Every structure is written in C-alpha cells, then in structure tokens.
Structure 1
Amino acid sequence: MDMQRAFLAIVLSLMILVGFQYLFPPAVPQQSAPAVTTKEQAAGAGSQTVSSPPAAAGMPGDMSAPVALDPNTADIVVDTPLYTGIIKEQGGGFESFVLKKYRSTMERTSGPMELISNNGPGSLPALFVLDNGVGNILPIFKAEKTHLDVKEGERAQLTMTASSAEGLAIARTLTFRGDSYLIDVEYNVQNTTDKPLQISPALLMENERFAHRSGISDFLFSGPAAYVNGELVETAVKKLADGPVTLQGKVSWAGLVDHYFMASALPISENPVTITLQSLDKRIRTVISEGIQSIAPHETKTYTYSLYFGPKKLQVLEGLGNDLAKSIDFGWFDILGKPMLWLLNFFYQFSANYGVAIILLTVLIKLAFWPITQKGMKSMKNMQKLQPKIAKLRERYKGDPAKMNQEMMTLYKTYKVNPLGGCLPMLIQIPFFFALYQVLLKSIELRHAPFMLWINDLSAPDRLWIGFDVPYLHGLPILTLFMGASMYLQQKMTPTAADPTQARIMQFLPIVFTVMFINFASGLVLYWFVNNLLSMLQQYLINRQHSKAEMRSGKE
C-alpha cells in the first residue's frame, strides 16, 4: 500500500505540474542546433554586396532604414480558394497573405487570418536579394499582370523581371496552386556584362509574430524555427536579443511559426545553406543565404525555393513533404500523439463535430485499457478488504519494520493480492494521457471548433455568459464544474485506504483539479469529464460484481 501511495503522489505531482505550466508559463528554451554560431563567430561567414570588384563580407544587414515607396510600382493580387496574397513590385515581397478558411479571433466580425504585418517594402517576407541583405536598395520586379485568379485544382504562374545597376538581370517565376498553400518560386539570375561578378543570393523572411490570440498563446512556442540536419530548432525570441544566431547545414525549411500557423521558406538546394536569425524590435528576420558566389559573363544561375504560408495542419503538411510536418511536435510522446490526432480526425469525418470526436476517442482509449484497468480496480478493491489485517500487522510490528514487511508479503501471497496491481494500469496509461493532452492543446483542428450549447471554441476555456461580467473568469466554467463534480463522485465510488490523513487529503483533490482546469482548453476538460464518467461506470460494474460475489459466498 505504501508503494501505491507513493505512485499516487507521483501521478498527482505530474498533473499539478501540467496545471502549473499552464497557469504560470515558463520561458521557452532554445533547443540545441546542429551548428550554431554567435554574432562574432559568424562575422567572417557572411557575403558581399553586388558589384564588379569584391565587396567586404559581413553579416546580413538590418535593412531597418525605411525604403521610400516607388509611386511607379503596382501591387499584384493573387486570389485562390484558400488565400488572397498581395505582392509588391518593389522588392517582390508579400505585403499581405490572408487565409480565407481561418478567422483572426473567435468573433465572426474579426475577419480572416492575416499572416503578414506590413512595415514597408523592405520589411516583407520573401524578398530575394543578391547582397545577402546588407544593403537597403530593392529591385523593382515588373510583373506581366496585376491580378491572378487561381481556381480549384488549377495552377497559374506569375513572371516578374528586374535588373541591377551592375548588369544583372533577374527573372522571377512564381507558381500558385488553387488547392495548396505551397508556392514555388524560381529565380534566374543572368550576368549581362562581359566581366565576372560576385553575388551573395539570399531569401529574406521578415515578419512580426502572428497577431491572433488564444487562451494558450502565451506559453506555447512562437518565434523563428527551422528544420536543420534532421532536427527541429526553435529559437526563443529573447535569445536573439543577445545577437544574431546562425544555423548551418542541410535546411529543409525555415521561418516564423507558432502552435497554429507558419510562414516559412524551403530552399530547394542540394548544397548546405546558412540561416541567420535576427530580432529587429518586434520583427523577426530569417535570412536564407546561398553564400558568396561568382557568376561568369553572360552566365545564368538558378535559385529555387518554395514558400508555405498557412496552417500547421498535420494532414496538409504530410502531403507536402519537405519535413514540413516536423513543425508539429507533441513533445516526448510525439510517437503516440500523431496517431491520436489521426484518430481524432477520423472520428470527425463521421461526426462533423470535434467535441463528439473527442468523446469517441476517449471511449476508444478507455475500451483499449478496459481489461488492465479492470484488473487494477479489482486489485484496489481486494486491497481495501485487507486494510483491517494490514492495520493490525502495523500495530503488532511497529517496532520491527523488517518483520512487518515480511508478514505483509505473506498476507499478500495468502490472499493472492498484488500490492502494485492498482498502480501498473495507471502507469501504462500516463504516456497516452500526456500524448492526448499535447494533441488537444496544439492541434489547429480544435481552433474555433464548436461543440454544443455555450462551448463554441474547443481550444478556449469554457465560459457561459450569464448577463454580467464575473471577475477573472468572465463567465461560469460550467463544464469544468461538471468535471470536478464527476471527479468527486468517482472518488466516492473508488476503494480508498483506511488511513484517515490520506482520505482527508484525497477529498481536496476534486477542488484542486477543478481550479487547475479552469483555464484549460474546453476540449481537454471535455476529455477528462468523459473519462471520469467512463471510470465511474467501470467502478460501478466492479462494485456490483463484488457485491454479488459476497452475497453468494454468504449464502454458502
């Protein structure tokens, strides 16, 4: 029984830890990168500006000086069933990228989700430069058309051309798909002079962190991320205050991410590239550098990228490849989390309601563990019957712990009771609980997903508006209160130890859990509530079975 108490304490500590992380978010640490250099180490690994003689190498510049708007340039509008993008001829960056299927906030008047914050033509994502971003002179990419309408299932191309004073001609071809957020970009750089030139081609991704807010935005990662050398590298924005961070190696993608969306670039190159991360006030800059190169007279070099501005939806990202799906990370239990997300979406296909899908997934998990949970509950019931005998042994051998343990083991053997029988089923289920916890916390499928009645967003805490503002809560957490009540009733039905101190402590757990779950996403609370109801049903069946068995033994 002591082992059971110890294990129960561990489980409760883990649960309280989860709640503590939710209520008091820690700073996001920087994950170790395969190759990271500081500002000083990277000073000699930069590039040169475009010119006939070699220019001094250096880190990418901040391009923070405002770039004057050219009145002779136009904006190109690209409209697809999934998004509307606006590209500036000046610099060629994306001025706007609106997702049609996602809103900024839960309010229907909030408008569609905007992934780009416009801070002038020099501070837009997807700028292609030949000086590694050291300067602030933007080429003018003249487009063949100013509006592109891409239908479902179609592809369309946009060609833009520019030239530099040094004699370089750039042709930019963008390929859009009507059924995908992925955009292919190809740059053909031609040296039109009779002398070799040195260039430092780079793609600049600059943006502010996404403006949307949710109940969990403050403690989940939001910032620059990259998939380098087979590893997801998330760099805390606070880390960039100390200076630029450089990542080197095989880069699958790099850009700005949070738990729901990402704006990233994918360098399509067999050669290693260098990623430089910088913090510019509220903006984050990611420079994907191809390094210093020489381009011969009349030679043409091609640089290819893909862009992804869209949701972090596993089914979408897996279909695109390029390790984009690696941006979704469910932590230590990722190997369990992604199958659970697949099951959640599977149930949604039939129910068309993610709340119902959560219930069905909870039932499936409960059924899968029903046999071992059954054994564990029966073991706890048997242990409850032995409590009077155990109490007598403790009283008799309280001065001889070794003898007491020996007699207790004999008692367990005589009555064929495993003291760990009630703990092992719980231990096996812990990884699955934490995996599902991560899935319900981070999956964009639950964002703004309604369930029923007052629960209109499964990613937000449940609140029932009662006509006036409730301090701190701003509504009544009805589902959370139901969850706490179910936990209390479950506790009353579950066998407990005879120790009065432990029993009094256990009585407070429903209150502790209710307070802890108040700001949890309603999807998580729904899972826990349904799981409690199923556990109560299982305990009822076990208690009924034991009662019948006792009645039969009494008659005999």
Structure 2
Amino acid sequence: MDIYRTFLAIILSFVILIGYQYFFVGFGPSEVSLEESAVQKESVATESSVPQKAAITATPATMSADVQSMVRPERDAQTIVVDTDLYTASLSEDGGSVTSFILKDYRETLAEASLGMEMVKVDGTEGFPLEFSWGSVATTGTFYDAGGSGVTFQGNTGKLVMKGRGNGLELVREYVFSKDSYLMELKVRVKNVSSGVLQGNAALHQSNTPFRETGPGSQFLFIGPAYFMNESLTEVDSDLYESGPGTVSGQMDWAGYEGTYFICAILPQDKSATSLTMASFGEDGVKMQMNSDLDTLQPGEEKVYSYKLFFGPKKLDVLKSIGSNLNKAVNFGWFDVIAQPTLYLLNFFYGIVKNYGIAIILVTIIFKAIFWPITQKGLKSMKNMQKLQPKMAKLKEKYKGDPTKMNQEVMNLYKTYKVNPLGGCLPMVLQIPVFFALYKVLLMCIELRHAPFMLWITDLSAPDRLFIGIDIPYVGGIPVLTLLMGGSMFLQQKMTPTTADPTQAKIMMFLPVLFTFMFINFASGLVLYWFVNNLLAIFQQQMINRQKKA
C-alpha cells in the first residue's frame, strides 16, 4: 500500500466532510422523520418523542346549559409595555399574548441605526406567542383585563395580572418579570364559574418565523422547533408537520423555536405538559402548542398551570443558569466534549483582551502547543521518508515483478531506518476532531455575532469582506483574510516534505485553491483560526528544516 495515497485519501475525505457541512444542515442535530414517528407511536412512555397526527386545537370542553358568552369590555384592548435592563416587551389585553419582545443588548444588524433584536417575527395572523386556550376557550378573542395598572416593579421583580372570563371559565394570567434576567414566569389559573362540569386540555401556544440573523451560521445550522423530552434533545425535521399537524408526547423539560443565536422557549412546571403539537403556516412559519392532559373541573373548582419562559440569546452560561436542560439548545453534537472547553477558553481570553479575534488567536496557539510534539514527530517522519525515496525507488524497480517481496523489503527498510510510515498522517487525523469542534463553536456561539476584530473585519460571525467601492460578482468585496489563508496554506504545502509522485503532488498543491473557495463564505472567525494555524505550522516546519541543515 502506498502510504501517500492513504494520506491523500484522508485529506480528500476531510475536504468532503467540510463540503458536506458547508452545503447542508450541519452536524449533530437529531431529527424526527415521518417513518420514525410510525415506530415511536407504540412507546410513548419510554421513547424521547412519539410523533402522531393530532388536531392543532385543544380538546373541546363539555359545557352545561348555562354557558356564558365571552366577556369583553366596550373599550379597545390596551398594550402593556414591560421595560427591563435586558428587553422591552409588549403584551396585549387581546389574548394576553406577547406582541413584541426586543432584546436591548443585541441588534438586528450591524448598522448604527439598527434597532434591538426583535424576537416576535409574526404579525398576529396566525396568533402571537403565549396565547392560552382551555377547551373551547380559544387562543384569540379572549379579553384579559390588565386593570389599567400595567406592570409594577418592586425591587428587581415586576408582576402583571390579567383577568379574562367567558364560556363558564374565569382565567387569571400572572406574569412575573425580572429586570436582570431573560427568564419570565407565567401562571394561568383556570376556574369553573359555571354550574356544570367542564372538561378540557390546557394549551400554551407559540407562533414563530425565523429570526433575522447574520452570518453563515443561519444557513448551515439548525433553525426551527426543538424540544428536550425524556432526557433527549430533538431538533424537529419539518417533514413532521409540513403535511399536517404532528404531535410528540413524553416528559418534557422545554420546547421552543431555535435560531442560530436565539431561542423562544417554554419550560412547563409541575410536569403539567405531556405533549407538543406542531403545524406549519405560510412559507416558513411554525405554530407550536404545549398541551396538558385532559382535566375535569367541578363547579367552583380551579387548576393552576405554571410555565417558565425564556426569550433570549443562546449563550451557554446563561442557559445553564436557567436549568431544565435548556443549555442543550446549544447543540455541538459529537464534538461537545471538545467544543465546550474551547468556548470556555474563548470567553476566558476575551475577558482578558476584550477582543474575540485576539481570543481566537490565543486559543489557536493553545491547541497548536498541545499538538506540537505530535506534529513535530510527524513532520520529522515525513522528512525521513523523503530521504528514503531513492532507496525505495530502487527496491520498486528491483522487485517490480513481485509485489509481495517488494512490500516486505520496503517494510524492512522502514525498520532499519526506524521510520513510521503512518507518522506523517497521524497529526492530521488527530486534529480533525479539534477542527470540527472549533468549527461548531465559531459558527454557533453568539459571542462572535457582530463581534469586531480589527480594520475591515467588523463581524467575526460573517464572511470576511473588504469593500473598495466596486461590487465584485458573487463575492461583493475582497475576501482578504480568506486569500491570506489560502496563500499560507499554499506556502505550507510547498514547505512540507512529500514523497508523492508528480500527479499526486499536483493534486496536493490544488488543495489550497479548493480550501480558499470553500472558506470564502465561512465566518471570518473560522478563517482567522485556520490562517493562524497555518502560520504556526509554517513556523514549526521552518524550525525542523533548520535543525536538519544544522
């Protein structure tokens, strides 16, 4: 076996893996397909999700003859504004839902005039987030009187109480807000004020369309409904609900709508939610409905449904502080064991230097230092292999008619000169998981969103472009950092010892061109890592070359 053909195959496999990630959805997310759902229906209690067809409305209530009609005052519904240190939320008395939720610390775009990040991207046609239904009390049309008082903050905590009445029910919604947290609380008290027995399912509703997010992460990573149920994360394949409503059942920690950097999540309390129904609307909208089991209310009886709500950034330390496994929404997949320490290192260095570009450089140096001894041995092994080429050429010529004997003599040559034929490949193989872990971190972590580095690089989550007043076709501006990365990779290839035949050598020299085109739309933070890694590799190879000359 020609070891260099193996080495080439490893590199090309590496390219194919990156290319697949580049053009498709990414690594790690678990998906629920319609075929899987048919099998899972039989084991609701033990499986992480049990898709099945279900209506998007709650079970109708069984009503007595004295059912009351919906109670609405003659005045128009008011909008209550909740202003905290982190967000400004607007809630309507019409349905008691959230009609706007603007994050103060995150902007829609990099433009100076850009407003804060809006988490509610629907116009109300398909409903607003956090509408509530119970039996025949619909999600819309129920008027919740806020009493004209709005939100009263006492210290760090504010409370909003909204009351609705109709169809034999009295409903009281109590929101609790914190000035310094994205986490909110919602309790809905449902009381039977009729003279008959009522039955119905409680359901908290949410409608979402994709958030506006910059950078390649929004193209390559998961966007859509997700939930953590039965100790397992599921990022839902749209096949489950595009052809009609689909339902999953089980012990639910949370469910929500994910973007690359943000999430709107509902965390049911007291184990009240037992299923989640999803349906599509419009071009890319998703309606979600968190359902309880069927409840029966005797006259005068009431039941309280409790939820925690998180509308905010997918920042790992923030999500961990919430609990309920909400941190699993930051899904690094197979590379989590490397990615999480990498993110910690990135934030640690940022805390010192206050620049994520420099933090990436420092993290790159740390990883290069860890792999330095292994890489050193690999490069030396390749250098020694290069010196053996004349002897190997003679053996191949001598035993060209006897491949078995030729391989035996080549292996004896390796033993005589203490050369490991796999020594040059091992460092590359070991670094592939690290590269993919960094790839996931640099694409997914919200810390890099709109984070500047220097000069023309003002957003490390977006592709590198230097605009010079000329619109370059298919590119826009000049990808300066990407071109530098390609040039450094070419120089590294020229300096690295090789025993490949001329054809293989030409193919290897084409790889920098391929990587340059592939990286042209990658986040500039990832390109920066690869560029610095190449420079360090060049420095290491130069040291080895000087040692050999000495």
- Counterpart in 2 of 1:328? 330
Distance 2:430 2:516 in 1: 24
- Counterpart in 1 of 2:105? 101
Unaligned runs of 5+ in 2: 38-47, 66-71
Equivalent AA in structure 1 for residue 278 of structure 2 = L
Equivalent AA in structure 1 for residue 549 of structure 2 = S
- Counterpart in 2 of 1:386? 388
Determine whether 1:35 maps to 2:49. yes
Aligned with 1:148 (options 147, 151, 157): 151
1:91–1:121 contact (8 Å) kept in structure 2: no
Equivalent AA in structure 2 for residue 489 of structure 1 = L
Given the superposition, is the C-alpha separation of residues 122 and 5 from structure 1 closer, same or farther in structure 2, using an over 3 Å criterion?
closer
Distance 2:188 2:492 in 1: 64
- Counterpart in 2 of 1:170? 171
Distance 1:395 1:255 in 2: 66
SS at match of 2:324: coil
SS at match of 2:104: strand
What is the percent sequence identity of the aligned residues? 50
- More displaced 10-residue stretch of structure 1: 23-32 or 180-189: 23-32
Residue deviations 1:11-49 (CA, integer Å, cap 9, x gap): 33222431354246689983367332332xx46x98532
Distance 2:413 2:17 in 1: 36
Distance 1:374 1:108 in 2: 47
Given the superposition, is the C-alpha separation of residues 399 and 272 from structure 1 closer, same or farther in structure 2, using an over 3 Å criterion?
farther
- Counterpart in 2 of 1:114? 118
- Counterpart in 2 of 1:538? 540
SS at match of 2:388: helix
Shift of 1:132: 7.5
TM-score by length of 2: 0.91
- Counterpart in 2 of 1:73? 77
Shift of 1:318: 0.7
Residue deviations 1:307-336 (CA, integer Å, cap 9, x gap): 110111111101111111001111211221
Distance 1:211 1:511 in 2: 32
Given the superposition, is the C-alpha separation of residues 111 and 524 from structure 1 closer, same or farther in structure 2, using an over 3 Å criterion?
same
Shift of 1:108: 2.1
1:4–1:420 contact (8 Å) kept in structure 2: no
Distance 1:279 1:323 in 2: 26
- More displaced 10-residue stretch of structure 1: 495-504 or 301-310: 495-504
2:122–2:207 contact (8 Å) kept in structure 1: no
1:188-227 equivalences in 2 (<5 Å): 188-227=189-228
1:487-506 equivalences in 2 (<5 Å): 487-506=489-508
Residue deviations 1:343-380 (CA, integer Å, cap 9, x gap): 11111100111100100000000001111111111111
Given the superposition, is the C-alpha separation of residues 504 and 323 from structure 1 closer, same or farther in structure 2, using an over 3 Å criterion?
same
SS at match of 1:466: coil
1:96–1:118 contact (8 Å) kept in structure 2: no
Unaligned runs of 5+ in 1: 55-67, 549-556
Shift of 1:111: 1.4
Given the superposition, is the C-alpha separation of residues 298 and 122 from structure 1 closer, same or farther in structure 2, using an over 3 Å criterion?
farther
- Counterpart in 2 of 1:398? 400
SS at match of 1:539: helix
Distance 1:25 1:196 in 2: 50
Determine whether 1:5 maps to 2:9. no
- Counterpart in 1 of 2:14? 14
Aligned with 1:469 (options 468, 471, 485): 471
Shift of 1:481: 0.8
Residue deviations 1:277-303 (CA, integer Å, cap 9, x gap): 111224211100002110122122111
Distance 1:510 1:376 in 2: 20
- More displaced 10-residue stretch of structure 1: 455-464 or 278-287: 278-287
TM-score by length of 1: 0.90
Residue deviations 1:445-472 (CA, integer Å, cap 9, x gap): 1111100000001011100011211111
Given the superposition, is the C-alpha separation of residues 364 and 332 from structure 1 closer, same or farther in structure 2, using an over 3 Å criterion?
same
2:192–2:298 contact (8 Å) kept in structure 1: yes
- Counterpart in 2 of 1:59? none
2:30–2:234 contact (8 Å) kept in structure 1: no
1:85-484 equivalences in 2 (<5 Å): 85-120=89-124, 123-131=127-135, 135=138, 137-145=140-148, 147-148=150-151, 154-166=156-168, 168-271=169-272, 273-282=274-283, 283-484=285-486
Distance 2:126 2:345 in 1: 44
Alpha-carbon RMSD: 2.4
